[in-house]
Chain A
């Protein structure tokens, strides 16, 4: 199993930390992982993306131009990465702020309105975990037990009190995702 993922959105949406939690969960489940961020402007509200690879085998290139799954959280990232999903792959997007919806016919497209739900539920801090939950519903590459361990490892100890809220968001996210176009 090798899963090559791009997560892309705005700085501040938790793109990099979602990737980190996924990668750490992979390590806990004895997988090989790599996490390659766009760096520089992402902490200051610019566009941010991270390539995460989770595999049973040694990982070659941490830098990719085609992905099994693209998780897209803003329009700029849609414009940039819709064409980078491998044929037969998955595109997951949050509808918030999307003006041009994906229209490829050779990939699976799913939508999750995590931004709207997060603000409705007053859970904006765990927006990225809702999205992660949606992703894991489609691609259960790591199990809940290891997500828990991944959260423990990625979050600083002072934030460990927030782990239950994060785990709850992952579970809620699984019910939020719905298909737009399925092969």
Chain B
């Protein structure tokens, strides 16, 4: 039997990374995700698996350490919260441009600016529409439980190396700080140098040998024709992600006449709202995007043929609602209900807003 523990979401991420055979974590403390670095420093994986844990001098340094580790074909990751993630954007764009795998965790807090330490989902645009400069996408995973915090680390590394693209785990203070029962994954050994050469030797800087050309990691391509070719190659990866990597969960959708669309912690709260509404005879379901990019456009479009209206619930002023409206393409009414600035919507007020904004009366 796998090991059961009561853990905070932040701790589960950290433990899962040790177990996933991660080679390096580079971070800088900020609430509400400081437990990640604290947990790793207490567990000392550098004495067991050999995983490096380093508190960098800044967020900018930390993301560039991930860039360096990833260049060598290593499994590296970093984490921060909103203001710190803004600082990392240049490095993230460079990773995307240089086609480097890695995981960036954003335990989102209220903003803009320094904002508040309380939970928020206001970084949806930043995570899914760019964040840094240039034509690139992050593959964005949105966990809704402590279990998914643990599960998305090995999944994130698999996807990051499959596409040679950075993966973001977009979560918030609710999932980061709450404790739930978690079944921890088995230990996967770190890759040996030989395994890295076999797997990533055609691009990673593993040490030049006489039988191959130099591998160069760079995002600088001054020849415009070559840069266009490169960006189009990145584009093909994003098309492939959109075809193969869409993940979502449906909750009580079979007979639904109305639909909530929500991700992460808000989706958990909406599950309760579904129960409350159904007890009052309102047939409502919930679609929870698990990947925010690629977005579950098709399943949402399909549900627009079934339901009379959708309420998108987010802890922001209205961000994912734009993607839902694109998916629905005017077919049914799509409204937004949001709390922001660190306020968390409660199950009752979500039902109240479904009634007032969608059902009417």
On A, residues with C-beta under 8 Å from B are: 20, 23-24, 27, 32-37, 39-40, 59-66, 153-154
A63 and B174 contact, CB distance less than 8 A: yes
A27 touches which of B6, B268, B275, B346 (Cβ 8 Å):
B6
Chain A interface, DSSP helix/strand/loop, else mixed = mixed
A61 and B268 contact, CB distance less than 8 A: yes
Subset of 8 A-B contacts with CB under 8 Å: A27-B4, A36-B178, A39-B177, A60-B269, A60-B271, A60-B274, A61-B269, A61-B271
A62 and B268 contact, CB distance less than 8 A: yes
B174 and A36 contact, CB distance less than 8 A: yes
Interface residues of B in 1-51 (CB under 8 A from A): 4, 6, 31-32
Interface residues of B in 255-290 (CB under 8 A from A): 265, 268-275
Q: Which residues of A contact B32 (CB under 8 A)?
A: 39-40
CB distance from A66 to the nearest CB of B (A): 7
A64 touches which of B31, B178, B346, B349 (Cβ 8 Å):
B346
B347 and A64 contact, CB distance less than 8 A: yes
A63 and B344 contact, CB distance less than 8 A: yes
Q: Which residues of A contact B4 (CB under 8 A)?
A: 27
Q: Which residues of B contact A59 (CB under 8 A)?
A: 180
Contacts A20-B6, A61-B272, A153-B6; is A34 near B347 (CB within 8 Å)?
no
Chain B: interface residue count, which band?
A: 20 to 34
Q: Which residue of B lies closest to A153 (CB)?
A: B6
Q: Which residues of B contact A33 (CB under 8 A)?
A: 6, 179-181
Interface residues of B in 96-120 (CB under 8 A from A): 117-118
Given A27-B4, A27-B6, A60-B272, 5 new contacts (CB under 8 A)? A39-B177, A40-B31, A61-B270, A63-B344, A66-B348
A35 and B178 contact, CB distance less than 8 A: yes
CB distance from B346 to the nearest CB of A (A): 4
CB distance from A12 to the nearest CB of B (A): 19
B118 and A35 contact, CB distance less than 8 A: no
A36 touches which of B31, B118, B177, B270 (Cβ 8 Å):
B177
Contacts A36-B177, A39-B32; is A63 near B6 (CB within 8 Å)?
no
